[in-house]
Amino acid sequence: MSDVPRLFGSRAIVTGAANGIGEAIVRTFIKQGAGVVAVDSSESGVATMFKALKGVTPMVASVTDKSSAEDLLKNASVKLEGLDIIVNNAAIQPPAPIGDTDEAALDAFLDRRIQLYALMARAGLPFLSKSPAGRIINMGCVRSAFTLQGEQAYRRSQTAIAELTKALAAEAGAQGTTVNYIQPGAIMTHASRRIFSEDKVLRDHCIAHSAAKRLGEALDVAKVALFLASDDAVFVSGAGIAVDGGRV
């Protein structure tokens, strides 16, 4: 007899779902028995990407304020007949890699991400409070979001996502919802592939500074998201897991 899928019967919403880490999470969750609403922008192609994949409901949406976040989560909850898991994965890659001296660009990028994640999480708590196993998973920035001289900016992004996650975990804990984050390293996605092909010095730097001596894959991150979404992580909250192959 085969094992029961780890997310059997779970209902999840994944933002930034049309490529890279988001797509890998959607496909991993589906394989493990979840129903998923896959959300992305109109130009992402999400409406057709998952058309033939059973268990996925593609949804085009943009979250700009509390009202739009509530509408999105309400629509997802109706489609799935409830909601157990929220994966905040939007705005992973800025328009161009950010350096340590690009303070205005970094502030704008991080402020937008933190605002978006907070909106989705807080709007989702009323839905997750009805779940026996509510989960919120926040995705940090990939290393390719920053230039070779962007190590301090990368660390600032890590601090921002960690602080938000800990605050949300404190708010959500009493109702049984966990909130955790994943901190990716140099992960090969559609966007990072373009950046690494244009900046091979950055690519080689990331490989050299990984103990694993390789770039990560989106599936490496998706497997950790699966753990955090499953019953195995029922008593883990306010925590972060680095998926970077180890740092040297």
Least Cα distance to 151 among 98, 210, 212 occurs for 98
Cβ(135)–Cβ(81) under 8 Å? no
Per-residue pLDDT reduced to its tens digit, 61-115: 999 899 999 999 999 999 999 999 999 998 667 889 999 999 999 999 999 999 9
For residue 208, give both structure tokens: 């050299």
Neighbouring CB atoms inside 10 A of 95's CB total 7
pTM, to two decimals: 0.96
pLDDT band per the 50, 70, 90 thresholds, residue 2: low
Q: Which are the catalytic amino acids?
A: 154
Largest CA distance in the chain: 57
pLDDT band per the 50, 70, 90 thresholds, residue 217: very high
Q: Does the pLDDT at position 234 exceed 50?
A: yes
What is the side-by-side strand order in the sheet with 11-15? 56-60, 35-40, 11-15, 85-88, 135-139, 178-184, 240-243
Q: Does the pLDDT at position 1 exceed 50?
A: no
Per-residue pLDDT reduced to its tens digit, 130-147: 999 999 999 999 999 999
pLDDT at 95: 85
Q: Does the pLDDT at position 58 exceed 70?
A: yes
pLDDT at 90: 85
Mean local confidence (pLDDT), 119-127: 97
**Separation CA 101–CA 105 (nearest Å):** 9
CATH number of 11-242: 3.40.50.720
The alpha-helical segments, DSSP class H, found in the chain are 20-31, 46-49, 66-80, 103-128, 151-172, 190-198, 200-208, 218-229
Summary mean pLDDT of the chain: 95
